Amino acid sequence: MPGLSELEKIIGYEFRDKELLKTALIHSSYASEKGLGYSRNNERLEFIGDAYVDAVVGTRLFEIMGDAHEGSLSRYRADVVCEAALANAASDISLGDFLYLGNGEDANGGRKKASILSDAFEALMGAIMLDGGYDECSRIILCILGNKIEQAASGSLNRDFKTRLQERVQEKDKSAKIEYRLSGESGPDHNKTFETELIINGKMCGKGKGSSKARAEQAAAEDALSKGAY
């Protein structure tokens, strides 16, 4: 694994308390495997980070959308702070490379799982808040998520790939038949991976995997959109 100082350079913040940074990167699977106490995994920091990410993103949207109603602000904030969007932000800073994962989770592709990445992103922001205060935390969040906030405010950040796909398909064929078929599942009951195929008018147009059937369907829709199937 790369050194933690490399992550500090990427995010533009140097921790005074390096243990806070390390804790933010420790997944529960690693803590359990190593016999560490609950306080040594990143779930408590995730709780803190979740609140501050919401607050910073919400405040910025409030500032740049002066005439927006509360409902609109809530929807736009949800676009920025949803699991998929935060996982993408985590990927932008290569956060998966720095995570401490249990051997099984690592072998199962945990460094690329949206749920793990988004939780770790929130934990990292929580650690920055505790280490450097709200202003520093806000600065880092806006540095990483600023473009996504601007896109959300303009209505161009839509992470609901199923809705986007449906709208695009129906623009061409209002009678088109769109189906999501479960093609497989693997893993233990507490940590399953689902595989889904997207079928449009009898033709397979996309495939996706996810930790739930809903996420697998979103991934299949994203796959179809990314390939220009529609």
**What pLDDT sits at residue 153?**
84
For position 164, what pLDDT does the model report? 76
- Catalytic site includes residue 122: yes
**Looking at 105, 119, 122, 223, which residue is catalytic?**
122
Residue 125 β-bridge partners: none
What integer pLDDT is reported at residue 1 of this predicted model? 56
Full-prediction pTM beyond 0.75?
no
Rounded alpha-carbon distances, angstroms, from residue 88 to 79, 114, 119: 12, 8, 12
Cα 204 → chain centroid: 27
pLDDT on residue 159: 56
Number of helical (H) and strand (E) elements in the chain, helices listed first: 11, 3
Across the chain, which has 230 residues, the per-10-residue mean pLDDT values are 87 96 96 88 96 97 88 86 90 95 92 93 98 97 94 72 82 88 89 91 92 86 76
Give the separation between CA 126 and CA 143, rounded to whole angstroms: 15
Beta bridge mates, 182: 196
Q: Can you tell me the distance from the alpha carbon of 223 to that of 202, in angstroms, rounded to the nearest whole number? A: 17
pLDDT value of position 4: 92
The pLDDT of residue 189: 82
Residue of 46, 50, 79, 217 marked catalytic: 50
Q: Return phi, psi of residue 200, to 5°.
A: -120, 120
Active site annotation includes 63: no
